[in-house]
Each structure stands twice: as C-alpha cells, then as structure tokens.
Amino acid sequence: MSTAVPTCPGCQAPRVSGPECPRCGVIYARAEARAARLAEQARARPTPAPEPPPAIDPAWLAPPPDLRPDVLPARTADWDVAADDATLELKLRLAALPVALLVGHVLATGSARFVARLFTMPLHELGHAVSGWLCGLPSMPTLWVTYTAESRSYVFAAVLAGALGALAWWGWKLRRHAWLAWGASLLGLQLGCTLMPLWRAEQLVIFGGDAGMMVLGTVLMASFYVREDGYVRRQGLRWGFLPLGALAFWDGFHTWWSARTDPSEIPFGEMEGVGLSDPSKLVEDHGWAEADLIRRYLVVGGLCLGVLLLLYGIQVARARPWLTARR
C-alpha cells in the first residue's frame, strides 16, 4: 500500500478533506481536471522528426591536386629588409655626392649666390678661426668677422693639443680608426703651425678664410660616408651637412677659378666696419703677388676635389658587384 500523503496540486500542501485547499484556495477537482487535460494534449501532440544532416559535396572530401612547382613555388621567399636597406644606402652613396655638387654649383655661382653666401659665410669665418687655433692664436668667429689675438697663447695651444691627443687616444682604445686618424693628423698639423713664425701664422689665418671654407665644405660632404653607427648618420645630420658643404666649396672655389682668367673677380677692397678684405691684406700688407694668391687657393680647391674623387671612387669600387649584377 502506498503511504504517500496526497498534496494540493497548486501549493503542494497536505490535502484536507474539504473540496478547497485552505492555504492557496485552489479547488481540488478543477485542478485535477486541468492537469489531466494538459497531459492528454501532450500525449496527442506529434513528436517532430529529427532534421537530416547537411548534404556534403563529395568533391569537398577529395584531396587537393598537386601544384606544379613551375607555376607556384612551394614557399614564398622572405622579405629581406636588411638587404633592401643596404641596397638603398648603396644607391644613395652613388648619387648623393654628384647631385649635391651639381646643385651646389648652380646655387653658388648663379643669381642666388648672395643667398648662398648667407649660409657659407659662417664657414668662411670658421676657417679663419680654425687656422688661428692651430697656430696657437685664440680666435672667436662671428657671422661676418673673426677676432684673432695678436700674440700666441701657449696655454691655449696646450689645451687644444690635449684635446686632440685625447681624441686620438680614444680612437685607438675604441678602435675607431677615423677618430685616431683625425686626432693624430690635427695634432701633427697643430705642432707645425704653432712652431711657425708669427708673421707666417698671421698670413695663414687670413688665407684660411676661403681656403678653410673649401676644406670645411669638403669635410661636411665627406661626412655623408660615415659608418652606420656614427652619430652624424644616426641623427640624419649628413643630409644637412652635404648641401651646406657643397655650397661652401663652390662659393670659395668658383671665385678663384674665375679669377684665373678675370682678375677683377678677386674680392679686393675694404669692408665697412671690418677693414681690408682678405686678398687686399695678403697683397698689400704681406706682399703676395696676385698670381700666387690665385694659385694657392686653386691648389687647396684642387686637393679638396681630389679627396672627394677618391672617396667617391671607393664607393664605386664597393658597389661594383651590385653594378655588375644589374647588367
């Protein structure tokens, strides 16, 4: 016999003997009739048939055909970024210097020469100052004039020699051959200039204006070929040094090349607030002949061109395998 206690179909409370549940108020007979009717409807409702699986094209299950290696490579070649950068740098080294020299010649010798002089004059004055420093004469360059001491300062010369010696020593220690070469060369040059007579040092300082401008311009152009980890290249300074150097070189060289056939091109005269121009000082105060003046400036310019030609030849030699592969 079942011992389960009948419960209310509404609230599941124990069922009492009356027709209505005292807890929820549902009428037992109606609740049972409704439950029986719902159960009958559920039994009469048809069970939905299961959906058939999606049709699969047998061609999808077939293995892919073998690809012909002559039509599509089995593996695409990787992009060699380092090789592309090296090729671009090689092209720049071959094209930058000739283009800079050509554009610099047009700007420094044409109608825009006065504008170009605004950029090259600081290098002209710096040429005076560097010449004075190498001779042991303290010098201070400004935009249009350089102030140079009338007597040597051996303390200044010793400090400069110490700085150049330190540059050479650091170059030797760090195996930076460029530092070693610059430090040793300038140290030897300073020794020779400091020991020369003072009257000759004064001539060198005056001559160092246009001559120094050509030399400094050559150095600036040569800085385009510094090594990859050099500060000038990492900071992008070489792109400014290259055109500035080309302007400075042609500004000085063109004057004396033209004076070869036209002496009126020599900038004789007096500058307001400054005094005699450099050629006037060398000719009138120091007794230089015009022919010697022109020849010495052209020798400096020719040596600068020779250095640039040598550097460019080295770049062409390094690029020969690449140039040969393009033929």
CA distance 255 to 186: 27
The token pair that represents 134 in the structure block: 């190498």
Q: Please tell me the total number of residues recorded for the chain in this structure.
A: 327
- pLDDT value of residue 327: 58
15, part of any domain: no
What is the rounded distance in angstroms from the CA atom of residue 298 to the CA atom of residue 122?
Answer: 21
Residue 18 lies in a domain: no
pLDDT value at position 24? 79
The answer to whether 252 touches 213, Cβ cutoff 8 Å, is: yes
Whether 164 is covered by a domain: the verdict is: yes
The answer to whether residue 280 sits within a structural domain is: yes
- Give the domain extent around 259: 97-325
* Overall pTM surpassing 0.75 (yes/no): no
- Residue 62 forms part of a structural domain: no
Indicate the number of domains in the chain: 1
Q: Encode the chain (327 residues) as per-residue pLDDT tens digits.
A: 445 567 887 777 787 777 788 777 778 788 788 888 877 877 777 777 677 777 776 766 666 666 565 655 556 566 666 667 778 888 899 999 999 999 999 998 888 788 888 899 999 999 999 999 999 999 999 988 999 999 999 999 999 999 999 999 999 998 888 889 999 999 999 999 999 999 999 999 999 999 999 999 999 999 999 888 888 888 999 999 999 999 999 999 999 999 999 998 999 988 877 788 999 999 999 999 999 999 999 999 999 999 999 999 999 888 887 767 665
Would you put residue 273 in left (φ > 0), alpha (ψ -120 to 50) or beta?
Answer: left
- Please check whether residue 60 lies inside any domain of the structure: no
What would the two tokens of residue 73 be?
């490579």
Q: pLDDT value at position 258? A: 93
Res 1: pLDDT: 45
**For residue 81, is it within any domain?**
no
Query: Could you tell me if residue 80 is inside a domain?
Result: no
pLDDT at res. 326: 64
How confident is the model at residue 78, as a pLDDT? 64
**Whole-angstrom Cα distance, residue 187 to residue 183?**
6
The residues that bridge with 148 in the sheet, in sequence order, are 139
Q: Which residue has the tokens 């695409």?
A: 76
DSSP state of 127: H
